Structure 1
Amino acid sequence: MAIYYVDFENVHIGGLKGAESLDLEDTILVYCRDNDVPVIKEACKKRKIKACVKCCVVTGTTKNALDFELISDLFMDKTEEIRYIISHDKGYEAAVERGLRKGLLCFRKENIKDTSFLHSLNFYKTNCKEIVVK
């Protein structure tokens, strides 16, 4: 099982490439604007995606509102599933590195197909040592 956090403003429909190979247990959270929802629904229907797909409509108007909502949700999720950020935006790397240091299995890829190799390795959560600096 995995959760895919899709930055739709950044990757558009191309970010869903490979989603048709996901299982029913996988979840795709598509962070988008209200006017993107019909396009996403049509793409999911056309690709016959079996995974649970949810559109997380971002209403914030501040710069990077979508990015901050996506990251907030990623870190608030308490499941132990692998998390993938689907985006071309390399700015997410800082959050990915922080998540890995905190013991979360999270990665950034440009589309869902690019995650298939990592997902097939069947990663398990490992203990991470946290160093406290005073």
Structure 2
Amino acid sequence: MLAELAAAEIAKIAFEAVIGKLTEGAMDKGVELWQKIKQKLQKEPAAAKVLAAAEQTKSEAMIEQQVVPFLQVEMLKDTNFAQEIQTLAQQIKSACFWEKAIHTQAKWDKDKQLLVAEDWKANQREIEKLKRDKNSDPPNPIDCNTK
């Protein structure tokens, strides 16, 4: 059951990059996560077909119901792959990319198809303020380096 929950959460995070739900700061890692999953599942023709349909329709339900089972099997078969995508998903989820995140008012960028800071300079000022505030640093920092 634990692997199923992990696979479901990882697939959800990765698919959020496909449908533009991640912030600009997390988008690159989200796309990287999606590509790793896609590359792994392409080896199974049924999985490849479902992935293509999910991307085309932007169906979160399809990911949940049809892609997750394939992902779960691959994670169980290949523990290195499982660890790699779990790490990427955890980095996205735990805000490793806060310096690229939106800390001020956000708006939808129709050209980029994602959320961006409404006032880029104000957002940068907020990021600089956070960098200077050492009291907000976590006591046990998360390793945000990828392999």
Alignment TM-score, normalising by the size of structure 1 = 0.34
Alignment TM-score, normalising by the size of structure 2 = 0.32
